[in-house]
Amino acid sequence: MASIKLDELENAAILVDDGEGSAKALVSRETGMIHLLNDEYMDEEAPLPGDIEVSGQYVSVPAASELGLGRELMFRFAAGHLPGDRETVRELFERGDGYERFARLLEERGVLDAWYRFREDETRTALEGWCRQHGLEFDPAKPAT
Both 45 and 8 in one domain: the answer is yes
**Residue 104 and residue 108: Cα distance in Å, rounded?**
6
Inside any domain, residue 125: no
Which residue range forms the structural domain that includes residue 97?
Answer: 71-119
Both 57 and 19 in one domain: the answer is yes
Both 59 and 87 in one domain: the answer is no
Both 59 and 7 in one domain: the answer is yes
Q: State the amino acid at position 20 in one-letter form.
A: E
Q: Find how far residue 43's CA is from the centre of its chain.
A: 18
Both 8 and 56 in one domain: the answer is yes
Inside any domain, residue 108: yes
Both 53 and 79 in one domain: the answer is no
Q: In which residue ranges of the chain is pLDDT below 50?
A: 142-145
Q: Compute the 3-state secondary structure of the chain and give helix, strand, coil in percent, each to the nearest 5.
A: 50, 15, 35
CB atoms inside a 10 Å sphere around CB 85: 19
Q: How far is CA 138 from CA 17, 20, 107, in A?
A: 21, 26, 32
Inside any domain, residue 93: yes
> How many structural domains compose the chain?
2
Please tell me the predicted confidence (pLDDT) of residue 66. Answer: 92
Inside any domain, residue 58: yes
Q: Find how far residue 133's CA is from the centre of its chain.
A: 16
